[in-house]
Amino acid sequence: MIDINSLSFIGENLSRPECVLVDFKRALHIADWRGGVTIISNKNKNRTIIAQGNTELKPNGIAILAGNDGWLVTHLGDTEGGVYHLQPDGKLEPFLLEVDKKALPPTNYVHIDNLARIWITVSTCLTPRILGCRPDCSDGFIILIDERGPRVVADNLGYTNECVVDPSGNKLYVNETFGRKLVCFDIGNDGSLSNKKTVFEFGFGEFPDGLTFDSQAGIWITSIVSNRVIRIGPDGKSKIILEDSNPYHLEWVEKAYLSSSLERKHLDTNSSKVLKNISSLAFGGDDMKTVYLGCLQGGSIASFRSQIAGAQPSHWNPKTFAEVSSR
């Protein structure tokens, strides 16, 4: 297990850096709760792009677009959601605000795969969102946007969080945070999802949020509350790579979760030593063996070195991302 005292940190005064991605130049792209995206170059230079206009954007998930065309950003407002196109100059345009003629609730995550398909998750339709943070709530859903247009392709999910298409391009993996499991779907030629399978069920103190793949077919998961990084191997066995938690805090949250009585105080307080509710992860560095951790409460990005390299992310494919930008 990684020693938490060996962690490195990059960035200062970041605002709820929930989502972190690494581009092909190894720069970090980080969601910024002030209404934009922060870029940290491999020379440790910061640049923050804040959305212009009257929309009070609350970025949660981001996806990098090709050709310096900016980002798709999910809006996790108190009552409103949607996906927006944030350009490098700060110009903000709506990208998707409704599906099936219904306005999008607060929207969690966006992912673009190697075929330029856009996958979007909505965690819950309830407001405030904390009402959906229960083991008996399953109103989350997944939207697909391709050449056929936007449509819901999966529903009845237990707080849908990050979703990523695997390197083969054949399966979509999704974290159900308060369903407390990682599931996958087969992707049809028409983008339809079928054959839902539970890949892994999480236990005490584990609430899966972020996910990514390594070069050896392993799946890496971040767990909020317990500040755990968990690797699920191709054989289905799990290993805790990193943890920074307080057992009394975990017991308190677990009791509330099992009794369907979670409140914001359970998720917004932190009794860990170093980490601040880690929520996402991305591989980077020249050898793709540096792991960067997004978080919900800290002001910087933690990192550590891995013995296993990460898989190449789909946003390194400029050809397919050019297709998204041209839609």
Phi-psi map region of 277: left, alpha, beta (phi>0 left; psi -120 to 50 alpha): left
What is the C-alpha to C-alpha distance for residues 294 and 300, in angstroms, rounded to an integer?
A: 8
pTM > 0.85: yes or no: yes
* Residue 325 pLDDT: 57
Is 321 a residue whose pLDDT tops 60? no
Percent of the chain at pLDDT > 70 equals 97
Is 168 a residue whose pLDDT tops 60? yes
Contact partners, residue 255, CB within 8 Å, separation at least 6:
none
Pairing of strands 140-146, 118-122: antiparallel
Q: Where are the domains of the chain?
A: 4-325
**125-147 average pLDDT score:** 97
Mean pLDDT of the chain: 95
Percent of the chain at pLDDT > 90 equals 93
Q: Is 164:180 a contact under the CB 8 Å cutoff?
A: no
pLDDT band (50, 70, 90) for residue 66: confident
* Residue 37 pLDDT: 98
CATH number, domain 4-325: 2.120.10.30
